[in-house]
Amino acid sequence: MTFAGREEQFVFLTHERNPGLVGGAFRDMPAVVYTAPVIATLVLIYLFRHLHPGSWVQAMSYGMIIGGAVGNLVDRFRLGSVTDFIQVHFYFIPFDFPWKRYPAFNIADSAICIGVALLIISWHRMERQREKESLNASDSA
């Protein structure tokens, strides 16, 4: 992939076929590439039953994660790889690091990452709320 003319663009569109997992990991291990996402999706479907019934944030988070995972699975089984098309280049950072030109990704990857972040924040807030409620209950008793 050539980046001529894009040296000082932060985000740009590209076209890459990713036969591996995140950032192309395990590209030479097709058994891992096909089974890991299926197992992860099955675990997410199982965990979906444990959502807090009143939390629309958790429901939305799971929807984003499952939607992204299924979208990538469909591409992987249909095409043998996932199409990544968003590239980020941290050209403005004055020192080199391994992912200064971040691996290409797609909307499904973004949905998974945002969903996981929202889910973690939601769980953290719910835990803090439970702690406050248990403190209030012990104070009033």
The rounded distance, in Å, linking the Cα atoms of 74 and 40 is 14
Per-residue pLDDT band for 49 (boundaries 50, 70, 90) equals confident
* Of residues 126 and 138, more confidently modeled: 126
Alpha carbon distance 132, 28 (integer Å): 49
Residue 40 belongs to some domain of the structure: yes
Active-site choice (75, 84, 96, 139): 84
CA 104 to chain centroid: 13
The domain in which residue 40 lies consists of 11-140
Tokens of 128: 């803090």
Residue 101 resides in a domain:
yes
How many secondary structure helices (H) and strands (E) does the chain include?
A: 3, 3
Number of separate domains in the chain: 1
pLDDT digits over 55-109, tens only?
A: 899 889 999 999 998 999 999 999 999 999 999 998 888 888 887 888 899 999 9
Q: How far apart are CA 101 and CA 8, in angstroms?
A: 11
- Domain assignment of residue 122, yes or no: yes
How many Cβ atoms from other residues are within 10 Å of residue 99's Cβ? Answer: 9
Those residues whose C-beta lies under 8 Å from the C-beta of residue 27, and which sit 6 or more positions away, are: 18, 19, 20, 33
pTM of the model: 0.80
Q: Is residue 4 part of a domain?
A: no
Q: 28 catalytic, yes or no?
A: no
Find out whether 83 and 75 touch, Cβ atoms under 8 Å: yes
β pairing state of 101-105 and 11-18: unpaired
Q: Which of 28, 75, 96, 109 is catalytic?
A: 109
Let me know if residue 20 belongs to a domain: yes
Please check whether residue 94 lies inside any domain of the structure. Answer: yes
Domain contains 5: no
Tens digit of each residue's pLDDT (9 = 90 or more) over 15-48: 999 999 887 889 999 999 989 888 988 888 888 8
Is residue 75 annotated as a catalytic residue, yes or no?
A: no
In a domain, 129, yes or no: yes
